[in-house]
Amino acid sequence: MGSKGVGSGVWLRWRMYQGSRESKLRLLLLVSTAGVALVVFTLLAYGILQQYWFTPNRAVATVGDHSISLRTLQQHTRFRRLQLLNEYVTYSEMLNYLGEQRDQLQVRLEQIDEELNQPAVLSRQVLEQLVVSELVSVEAAARGITVTEDEIEIAVNQYFGYEDVLESDVSSSIVLDTELPSTSELTSVPTPTAYTEAAYRENYTRHLGTLRAETGMNEEDFRGMLEQGLMSTKLREAMESEYRIVQEEQVHARHILLPVRDLAIAQSVLTRALAGDDFPALASEFSMDATNSARGGDLGWFPRGQMVATFDKAVFSSEIGVIPELVATQFGLHVIDIIAKEVRPLPEYMLVQRRRQAFTDWISTSRAQESIEILEWWEDFAPAEPTLQDFYARLQSE
């Protein structure tokens, strides 16, 4: 009895030990499984955050203290693609109704197709525009230029053509008040469907839905684009109004244009002009510039920047008289005679050009002076959608 009881006790302790060991193994297995699951979950969560948060919010460019995110670049690139697709479809439909302009339209369609098929190039163009927008925002803030909510609302109305309808409705009511048509006229003339506020609101909502689906933009983004456009316009107008240069040094010159292949003839004409031969007669005989050869090659008065760079540099850096060497440009070889130089008032059309140029010059100067860095990591994320197929599919579904 004693030995049997001892054996039972040993067996019982061994069973308890085995049970405890199995419990520990099960616990260890559960902990290991939970750890693996946690690692997998962490990796998945990180991947999701990386794809939908970290990468989209990573800077693709910096302008001073401001940064432009990949998300913003992608949204604006997709918006630009929508504009190009809309232009493509419109021009494609117009091809059936055009005659002589058909070839020009076909060239534009090919250009649009090329732009759409180069996502990184198109995104880089859009990024340049976003950089300029940042420069405009900084300068506008420094000048105290702002855009009100009312101005944005007017811009939204104009975007959908609603304001024009309101104005035409007012005009129509004035006409009807002063000259009522007869009953027969009312019945014979078809009445167009009015562009009501309800229709405008419906178009607005549909447009926002398209933007959200195709570009990721929301209403705030859309109105922000319009605000930026208004701010650029205000800044440009301010700079144009500040332009005060109404007269510049100008040159009165005439020239004889010859092909590059006729170098020997051009040199002979230059020698004769320097020797005092009649310049108008030489121009009439030799110049291939048909626009002014009949009037002795006379180009009239012009300020800097009106001619190609090489020609411009030659005439403004030379003394009055025939320039003693041929001047080569992309058009050919020029024999140039400077008749006079003086500071003269600019004609009105040139003043308009100069005032408009002031804004462009400011952009170039600001871009050179401001601390701007275009980063190079993002090109693989340049959007290649929406595509033409996407666009046509959406049109068919509407």
pLDDT tens digits, 301-317: 999 989 999 999 999 99
Residues of 14-38 as b/e, b for ≥16 C-beta within 10 angstroms? eeeeeeeeeeeeeeeeeeeeeeeee
**Secondary structure (3-state) at 335:** strand
Q: Decide: 300 and 252 in contact? Cβ < 8 Å.
A: yes
Tell me which architecture the domain covering 248-345 has in CATH: Roll (3.10)
CB 88, CB 388: distance < 8 Å: yes
184 phi and psi, to 5 degrees?
A: -65, -35
State yes or no: pLDDT of 50 exceeds 60.
no
E strand or H helix at 152: helix 149-159
Does the pLDDT at position 341 exceed 70? yes
Which one of 158-162, 170-174, 194-198 scores highest in mean pLDDT?
158-162
- Write out the two tokens for 182: 């007869």
Q: How far is CA 117 from CA 5, 208, 384, in A?
A: 89, 26, 8
* Bigger pLDDT: 77 vs 11: 77
CB atoms under 10 Å from CB of 281, counted, come to 11
pLDDT given for residue 396 in this prediction: 77
pTM of the model: 0.69
Break the chain into its structural domains and give their ranges. 66-241+365-397, 248-345
Residue among 234, 243, 244 nearest 143 (CA): 234
Number of Cβ within 10 Å of residue 244's Cβ equals: 6
- Per-residue pLDDT, averaged over 173-188, amounts to 36
